[in-house]
Amino acid sequence: MGLSDSTAIAGTVPESRRSLAARLRVIFMRSESLRGYALLSPTLIVMLLGMCLPFALMVAMSFWTQRGFDIDISFSLTNYGSAISSPIYEALLMRSLAISGTCAIVTVLLSYPMAYYVAFHVHRRKMLWIILMTLPFWTSYLLRIFAWKIVLGWNGVINSGLKSLGIIDQPLEFLLYSPTAVVITLVHAWAAFAILPIYVSLEKIDRSLLEAAADLGDGPVQRFLRVTLPLSLPGVIAAMLLIFVPTVGDYVTPALVGGPDGIMIANMIQAQFGKVNNWPMGATLAIVMMIVLTIIAVVYIWLTRKLAEWIS
């Protein structure tokens, strides 16, 4: 559409007599890409400015240094030096990666059967199930963490419940303020990010492939391992990444349920912008975290591609 108008213009007016503006207009009307970009431009400009400017400045700041209450804006690698040399940052980063990695794996393992059930065994009211599975995700993040604090707390639902039933005398202390509590809370919070991609990839599987496998003599287990699982891997792979990356940067969950052993790298970053008041160091840590995450993501995607090639 629209294309017909522009060819009409081009056909009636000789090339030489058209003004520059008209010629630009024709170019514009003829090029679908240009018109697309024109329509896209408000969104693209806002998003580019909103992300690029802050990132550029954050990179710049990571090379500055904090001196008392002032910031020295001469170029220096001091922050990166201390980020790499001090063991506390490395320990926190490794712990964050471990917690988020565990969380991503556990969430995917728990969500796969659920997504499988809805994709293959629910026939009526499928939409209701999908909404039910994703609804908690849309409710307040803070309240969900708070809910787990109530459940796991020293005097919380599990402990006080078990105590009033007479099963335990002393509250179980390992429940709250531990890395385990962080993992449980995060698995609960990010479940939708595993269910949806896995569900979509399972739903897309051509059912006739399963019939073909059955006709060729595969049993249910073989059919799952040779047809369903490989074809649903894209969803699984996407889910792992979608959960892993943002959870590394979470500081609210560790702050509320992690305790001293559950503190993560993002808590350190937040502290630099808060009570420690060393913004350049905070910027450096944020960038180091981004770089590590990007490397992990790239290696992960590369590995999974290789794996996919190797399978097929």
The answer to whether residue 164 forms part of the interface with another protein (CB under 8 A) is yes
Residue 11 CA to residue 9 CA, distance in Å, equals 5
Is the distance from CB of 121 to CB of 207 less than 8 angstroms?
Answer: no
Of 18-26, 55-63, 76-84, 229-237, which part binds another protein (CB under 8 A)? 55-63
Q: CB 62 → another protein: shortest distance, Å?
A: 10
| Residues whose CB falls within 8 Å of the CB of residue 59, separated by 6 or more in sequence, listed in order | 283, 287
Q: Which is nearer to another protein, 117 or 302 (CB)?
A: 117
Of these, 20, 21, 88, 127, which contacts another protein (CB under 8 A)? 127
Helix (H) or strand (E) holding 113: helix 87-116
Q: Report the b/e string of 211-220 with b at 16+ CB within 10 A.
A: eebeeeebee
Helices within 117-178 (DSSP H only):
126-138, 141-152, 157-164
Tell me the per-residue interface mask from 215 to 254 with another protein, x by CB under 8 A, - otherwise: x----x--x-----------------xx--xx-xxxxx--
DSSP secondary-structure letter at 261? G
Residue 283 CA to residue 281 CA, distance in Å, equals 5
The answer to whether residue 157 forms part of the interface with another protein (CB under 8 A) is yes
Of 6-14, 85-93, 129-137, 173-181, which part binds another protein (CB under 8 A)? 129-137
Token pair, residue 29, equals 């009307």
Q: Which is nearer to another protein, 12 or 208 (CB)?
A: 208
DSSP secondary-structure letter at 177? S
Q: Which is nearer to another protein, 60 or 77 (CB)?
A: 60
Q: Which residues pair with 72 in a beta bridge?
A: 65
Amino acid at residue number 159: N
- Report the site for another protein in 85-114 (rule: CB under 8 A): 110-111, 113-114
Beta carbons within 10 angstroms of residue 175's beta carbon: 20
Q: CB 115 → another protein: shortest distance, Å?
A: 10
Is the distance from CB of 280 to CB of 79 less than 8 angstroms?
Answer: yes
Q: Residues in contact with another protein, total (CB under 8 A)?
A: 94
Amino acid at residue number 66: Q
- Report the site for another protein in 248-307 (rule: CB under 8 A): 248-252, 256, 266, 269-270, 273, 279, 282-283, 286, 289-290, 293
The answer to whether residue 61 forms part of the interface with another protein (CB under 8 A) is yes
Residue 60 CA to residue 15 CA, distance in Å, equals 51
Beta carbons within 10 angstroms of residue 35's beta carbon: 13
Q: Which residues pair with 67 in a beta bridge?
A: 70
Q: Which residues pair with 38 in a beta bridge?
A: none
Q: Which is nearer to another protein, 20 or 221 (CB)?
A: 221
Q: CB 275 → another protein: shortest distance, Å?
A: 13
Of these, 92, 108, 118, 288, which contacts another protein (CB under 8 A)? 118
The answer to whether residue 80 forms part of the interface with another protein (CB under 8 A) is no
Q: Which is nearer to another protein, 2 or 14 (CB)?
A: 2
Phi, psi of 166 (to 5 degrees): 80, 15
Q: CB 211 → another protein: shortest distance, Å?
A: 5
- Report the site for another protein in 169-188 (rule: CB under 8 A): 188
The answer to whether residue 153 forms part of the interface with another protein (CB under 8 A) is yes
Tell me the per-residue interface mask from 4 to 23 with another protein, x by CB under 8 A, - otherwise: --------------------
